[in-house]
Amino acid sequence: MSPLNFGTHNHPLYFQEDGDDINFILDIELGGARPRRNRKAQNIPTYPPRSADQIVIDDNDDDHVAFMFQPWAEAEEELEREVIDLSDEDDQTTFVQTQRRRSVMRNGPLLVPAVYLTCAAWFEHVLKPRMTVEVNGFGSRRYLCITDIIRSSSGTFLRGVQYVHIVDMQGMLPWSPDTHDTDICAIYHVDLDDPRPMNVQAAVEVPLDAVKNVCKLKVSNALWPVHAASDDTLVCRWKFVQYFPTGRVRERHLESYSLYQGLEAAILRNDESDADPEYTISAETLRTEWAEHPRIPGGSYIPPNSSDVLFSGNASPRQRIPGQKYTFFDAFCGAGGASRGAMRAGLHLKYAVDAWDRACDSYQTNFRNTQLFRMKIDEWIRQSVAGADFHCDVLHLSPPCQVFSPAHTINSREKDEANFAALFACEEVLRRVKPRVFTLEQTFGLLHRRWRPVFHRLLASFSGCGYSVRWKYVFLPQWGLPARRKRLIMIGAAAGEILPGFPAATHGDGDEARRAGLRPLVTVRQALKKLDGSRRQDPLHRPGEMKRKNMPRWDTDGILARCVTTSGGQNYHYSGQRCFTHREFAILQGFPMYHEFVGSFRIRQIGNAFPPCTALVLFQHIQKCLLEADGMQVDDGERILAEAMAVEVGDDEDSSMYAVGDYEDEEDLYLQQILEQSRHEYSDSTATRQSLGRQPDTQAQVAAGVLDATQKDDDDWRLMLQPDVAYSRSMRAREFQA
């Protein structure tokens, strides 16, 4: 039997399978040093020594690209293009590339003469499946829960799920030596192209003589300290999962510690199916313990004067009452990018908080019925009285990220400390709001190893509240943005809730993307087409007043090459003769035409925003997941109508793609009919309210079944079609399809 190369926390261990050259890594670190002495034998290219600020990019089977981070002096949009991109096509066709790669199956059928054993003797112990052993040879404590015992010509091996002590989770889980000394976490490396359960495909093998001790393990889904061990019994409440598009990508990534562009991982609480029967707590009990109030299936916003009977308990699936919605809290709301996407997805905007007055002015202009707190997040935390009900179903967090961005070039201790304070204030916001699901959007720079302790501390603040968390490095044009932008997106779910996955790509590039049913990437030409020859007098679109330039023309049949930043990102009009207008910048950042920006620093307001078109995709997906978790009917008619009313971009070639097209004839006529009907309903509703001595309430009108077509005097270009309509959605969608 070939000897094992035992390692330490900084130099991971490699297990060698029978007759196979594939190495499996127990170390969970996403980056770091790797032993180099076996590279030639494995035919792996040898790279020069890496500095502390260098990342090896590995995305192609044949090419290896190394990029040296400058000391944070490059613009973020350039880093996004150069650090992660291997070519312009790589970002746009990641899913296509990974499909072409050869999959590497782990833990396949045994080959002769290997056989399965029912047990194996180890000193005075008889090892059997479902027993847990401590593995010898690490600088840290590692464990294996046995699923199979295999004997081959190389010896006897134990196969099973690997565990690490949470002190070795690099700060991703809260830990203290007095209270978590026996807590461990399961580790899984999952191939998305492998349909087998993750405990099967992600199992690892160790030789029998690597066993150090036999342990007791109890698997629980309860919140700490329930079921905490008073002796040496191990307790597992968490699992760490790293997702790879294919086995080939996983193999090469783990061999080189590269940061590939499809990075996705999760810290997951055990659910009821994972826990041992005697250590299982019901999901409803977990939800009540955390949120301290019952969950309302279908959404906690109930329109005024609605029936007390929310739904029929006998119906399956149940239907929401008209106007019922999931509520939304937008922390660090800025000018309202995330809120615009949430409203278009059909969520009820309840609260928002931000400290920048100029952005707050724009937010209040667009969302007059949302309660906006104009203050720093720490002030809101202090002023939010204990016991006050700020609960919302969905919480979005977009804390300031300049200090973590590769574009951060000017050090300011005061501002940097404020960024850190805002980031770690997210935990207290979470404890005040107690959402069922939260999302967080941040710069991709937070994933850099320089900020890894900060990122892991952020994860620990969420997991310490009992939230499962999933994060991914997302190329936003795959969700419909017409400009290059990559962000770190996180999704979290409270204890007892189901953690949503990430939305699938809606847009792609190339023939394979079209065969997969994806829409073409939204181009600059398509996005700006609505402004061509416009007779609308938009104060944010005055090309003649823009600063003149003398730059080369560039092709608009693609996405914007540079990210839209707070200064515009060195972008200029495709004619080469002027700068973009504020409206053009807003459109390229995913804002609809009717979104208003007031006051000064408008480009900064736009560049700071979470693009609404991508927020729409994210929150539509989360709403669908919540409806499914609640056992509510998910009506495709609502999606079709919302998409039809949220059309933002022109596309002459394919008018059937509702999310990319100016209103076509049939669609325009259909929406005009809705608009006229809504105006009558709006007038009737307003008259009724006034006769009762009540002031009109836009949110209540919409929730009661009225399409709020806000139209200001002399500003017909600001016609707003809100897609969160509750009135006869299914009927209208069916009529539209017919």
The residues carrying an active-site annotation are 401
Cα–Cα distance, 455 to 172 (Å, whole number): 8
φ, ψ for residue 164 (rounded to 5)?
-130, 155
Kindly tell me the number of DSSP H helices and DSSP E strands found in the chain: 21, 25
Q: Which long-range contacts (CB under 8 A, 24 or more apart) does 449-455 make?
A: 449/31, 449/32, 449/52, 449/53, 449/55, 450/52, 450/53, 451/404, 452/30, 452/31, 452/170, 453/170, 453/171, 454/404, 454/420, 454/423
What single-letter DSSP state applies at residue 477? G
Please, are residues 610 and 338 in contact by the beta-carbon 8 Å criterion? Answer: yes
Amino acid (one-letter) located at 133: V
Cα–Cα distance, 538 to 531 (Å, whole number): 10
Beta-carbon contacts of residue 181 (< 8 Å; ≥ 6 apart):
none
- What angle is formed at CA 699 by the lines to CA 693 and CA 704, rounded to 5 degrees? 80
**Cα dihedral value 504, 618, 620, 316, nearest 10:** 70
Nearest to 392 by CA among 329, 440, 323: 329
Dmax (CA) for the chain in angstroms is: 89
| DSSP-derived 3-state class of residue 491 | strand
- Residue 511 vs residues 85, 91, 92, 302: alpha-carbon distances, Å: 20, 15, 12, 45
Amino acid (one-letter) located at 513: A
Amino acid (one-letter) located at 50: R
Please, are residues 369 and 698 in contact by the beta-carbon 8 Å criterion? Answer: yes
- Residue 715 vs residues 165, 219, 674, 679: alpha-carbon distances, Å: 62, 61, 20, 17
